[in-house]
A and B are shown apart, each in its own frame.
Chain A
Amino acid sequence: MMKAPALPALISVAFVVMAIVLIAIGPPGSRPPRERVATHSPPPAPSSVSGPGLTLMSVSVDLPEDAAAYPDGPHVDTINANCTACHSPSMALYQPPLSAETWHKEVEKMRDTYKAVIDEKDVPAIVAYLAAMSTRTAAGASAAAPKPTE
Chain B
Amino acid sequence: MPDRLMAPIDRRRILQASAFGGLTAFATPGLAQTLANLGLPAGPSLREMTTAFPQKGAMILQRTRPPLLETPMAVFDQGVFTPNDRFFVRWHWAEIPTSIDVDAFRLKVHGAVERPLSLSLADLLRGLPRVELAAINQCSGNSRGFFQPSVPGGAWGHGAMGNAKWMGVRLRDVLDKAGVKPGAVQVRFSGMDAPVVPTGPDFKKSLSIDHARDGEVILAFAMNGEALPLLNGFPLRLIVPGWFSTYWVKMLNDIEVLDRPDDNFWMAKAYKLPDNRWANVAPTAKDYATMPISTMVPRAWITNLVEGGTVSAGQPIYIRGIAMGGTRGVAKVDISPDLGRHWYPTRLEPEEGRYGFRRWAITAKLPHAGKVPLTVRCTNHGGETQPMTQNWNPGGYRRAGAETITVVAA
Binding site for B on A (CB under 8 A): 46-52, 54, 56-66, 68, 85-88, 90-91, 93-98, 102, 106, 113-117, 137-138, 140-141, 146-150
Contact = CB atoms under 8 A, between A and B. Distances in A.
Contact of A56 (B96, B121, B151): B121
B201 A114 contact: yes
Contact of B40 (A48, A60, A68, A96): A96
B235 A150 contact: no
Nearest to B68: A91
A93 B61 CA distance: 12
A147 B37 contact: yes
B101 interface: yes
Interface residues of B, number: 72
11 contacts: A51-B125, A56-B102, A58-B100, A59-B235, A86-B93, A87-B63, A96-B42, A113-B269, A146-B37, A149-B35, A150-B37
Contacts of B265: 113
Contacts of B150: 96-98
A86 B197 contact: yes
Contacts of B120: 49
Given A54-B125, A54-B222, A113-B200, 15 more contacts: A57-B227, A58-B101, A59-B230, A63-B65, A90-B61, A90-B62, A91-B154, A94-B155, A117-B197, A137-B42, A138-B43, A146-B39, A148-B37, A148-B39, A149-B306
Contacts of B155: 94-96
Interface in B75-104: 93-94, 96, 98-103
B54 interface: yes
Given A64-B53, A88-B65, A141-B42, A57 B306 contact: no
A47 B101 contact: yes
A148 B38 contact: yes
Interface string B58-71: 00111111111000
B96 A140 contact: no
Nearest to A68: B64
Contacts, number: 174
Interface of B: 33, 35-45, 47, 50, 52-55, 60-68, 72-74, 93-94, 96, 98-103, 120-122, 124-126, 130, 145, 150-152, 154-155, 157, 159, 167, 195-197, 199-201, 221-222, 227, 230, 234-235, 265, 269, 306-308
Contacts of A106: 152
Contacts of B60: 150
Contacts of A113: 200-201, 265, 269
Contacts of A62: 54, 98
Please indicate which of the listed interface residues A68, A116, A147 has the most CB atoms of chain B within 10 Å of its own CB. Answer: A147
A51 B121 CA distance: 9
Contacts of B159: 150
Please indicate which of the listed interface residues A60, A61, A87 has the most CB atoms of chain B within 10 Å of its own CB. Answer: A61
A148 to B, nearest CB: 3
Contacts of B33: 149-150
Contacts of A60: 98-100
A115 B73 CA distance: 35
Contacts of B122: 49, 51
Contacts of A59: 99-100, 102, 227, 230, 234-235
Nearest to B222: A54
